[in-house]
Amino acid sequence: MRSSYLTIAVLVITASLLPSIARSQDGYALDDEGRLVNFERDIAPIFREHCLECHQGDEAKADFRIDDRDNVLDYLEPEDSDSSSIYSDYLTAADEDMLMPPRAHGGPLSAADLSLVRVWIDEGAIWPEDFELNVDALDEKETVAVAMPSSLVGRAWAAQGFLHPATVHFPIALLLLGGGFVVLGWKWPAVGTQIPLACLLIGALTSIAATAMGWSFAVERGYGSWDRFDEAMMEKEVFWHRWSALIVTILATIFAIVALVSLKNKSPKWTATWKLGLLACAAMVGAVGHQGGEMSYGKDFYPKALRTLLGQSNEPATEVEKPLTDEDELTQSTMIEEVVAQ
């Protein structure tokens, strides 16, 4: 129902805007190709203001780049806005988790902006090949105010999420450190129990806090709510990141309880159990942390570090086209002859 109302509003405003938008110096509304909307003048500013911050370069969220012409056109069906994913599945989505830009970042677009995008697509989604949408073209703009929760509990929950970037590395470091001392304890038993035990107990407690902060901060960053299990959400990397982190937190808490029981019972079996559990948590938290790094800094972040260490170019390796073999050339010639014969 909400989507229907929004569509009607867009159509009404489109009708009211068409006579006045995009007039040339000669006073005509249409350009030389008979189009009302000009990408550089009308659409690029919308993309810059509302999309470029999160969807540019190698660090683009969800691997969608608004500054990549071909990437954007993959989400469009020229002359059919209703069938264009970027318009129907994101810009006008009824699902809050699919809506772009998210409400936490000033979404949805105004009806006027949606009208311009709709007309642009229906007119063929023309994006000049020589026009680049990049960060250098960003204009100074005021920060969009994020909608504030009305209740005190809601505001407290939202506010504590901002501590996630500052605190999430603390439990990661502790669990990794504890796992490291378990390994050292095989050689030097004196350091193999008390230090890992302290790391596990403190790491489990802080991981609970960091996970809670992460789930709150995800909404602020536009990653969507936590209680979705549909196919679209499960395709997102953030889905697996948040649930992997939760699993690590649960396991760390369980093994912390096992460690406390082992202290009381002086049981070698329980002690071995929590130590092995700590090693598993250390391995998992390393993988989750690696994934978080890629989400924050881009897929090429760690490969770039390796290339830097090896003294190689920091440009990602590109696939080199292989020369045609004699067999390939013969096959290609045969195909050409068949086409010509037809």
pLDDT digits (tens, 9 = 90+) for 227-265: 666 676 677 777 788 888 899 999 999 999 999 999 888
Q: What is the pLDDT of residue 203?
A: 93
* Top-confidence residue, 298 or 65: 65
DSSP H helices, 74-145, are 85, 111-122
Q: What is the pLDDT of residue 266?
A: 85
Half-sphere exposure of residue 228: CA atoms within 13 angstroms, side-chain side? 20
Interatomic CA distance for residues 100 and 62, integer angstroms:
12
* Top-confidence residue, 106 or 128: 128
3-12, 207-216, 224-233: least confident range:
3-12
For residue 240, which amino acid is it?
W
Closest by CA to 300, choosing from 318, 283, 286, is 318
Interatomic CA distance for residues 218 and 34, integer angstroms:
44
What percent of the chain is predicted at pLDDT more than 70?
A: 72
pLDDT higher than 70, residue 337: no
Q: Which long-range contacts (CB under 8 A, 24 or more apart) does 217-223 make?
A: 217/161, 217/162, 217/164, 217/165, 218/161, 218/242, 219/102, 219/104, 219/158, 219/161, 220/104, 220/146, 220/158, 220/161, 220/162, 221/104, 222/54, 222/61, 222/100, 222/101, 222/102, 222/104, 222/105
Task: Give the mean model confidence (pLDDT) for residues 10-29.
Answer: 48
Q: What is the pLDDT of residue 130?
A: 80
Interatomic CA distance for residues 216 and 242, integer angstroms:
11
Report DSSP state, residue 189. G
Q: Which two tokens stand for residue 241?
A: 């990141």
Indicate the average pLDDT of the chain.
Answer: 76
Is the separation of the CB atoms in 133 and 47 below 8 Å? yes
Q: Which two tokens stand for residue 136?
A: 């250098």
Q: What is the pLDDT of residue 63?
A: 77
Q: Which two tokens stand for residue 338?
A: 């068949």
Interatomic CA distance for residues 18 and 274, integer angstroms:
68
145-159, 284-298, 306-320: least confident range:
306-320
How does pLDDT run across 30-67, given as a tens digit for each residue?
766 778 888 888 888 888 888 877 887 777 777 788 87
φ and ψ at 63, to 5 degrees?
60, 25
Task: Give the mean model confidence (pLDDT) for residues 286-297.
Answer: 77
Diameter of the chain by CA atoms?
90
How does pLDDT run across 110-137, given as a tens digit for each residue?
888 888 888 888 888 888 888 877 655 4
Interatomic CA distance for residues 191 and 156, integer angstroms:
40
Q: What is the pLDDT of residue 201?
A: 95
pLDDT higher than 90, residue 320: no
Q: What is the pLDDT of residue 98?
A: 80
Closest by CA to 192, choosing from 179, 204, 207, 206, is 179
Interatomic CA distance for residues 238 and 29, integer angstroms:
44
How many of the other CB atoms lie within 10 Å of CB of 237? 16
pLDDT higher than 50, residue 143: no
Report DSSP state, residue 61. G
* Top-confidence residue, 11 or 201: 201
Q: What is the pLDDT of residue 22?
A: 42
Most confident residue range from 105-109, 234-238, 283-287: 283-287
Contacts of 208 (CB under 8 A, 6+ apart): 249, 253
Q: Which two tokens stand for residue 217?
A: 């901060």
How does pLDDT run across 148-195, given as a tens digit for each residue?
677 888 888 888 888 888 888 888 899 999 999 999 999 998 899 999
pLDDT band at 217 (very low <50, low <70, confident <90, very high): confident
How many of the other CB atoms lie within 10 Å of CB of 81? 24
What percent of the chain is predicted at pLDDT more than 90?
A: 19
Interatomic CA distance for residues 72 and 91, integer angstroms:
13
Q: Which two tokens stand for residue 21?
A: 């938008």
For residue 229, which amino acid is it?
F
Contacts of 263 (CB under 8 A, 6+ apart): 197
Q: What is the pLDDT of residue 186?
A: 92
For residue 19, which amino acid is it?
P
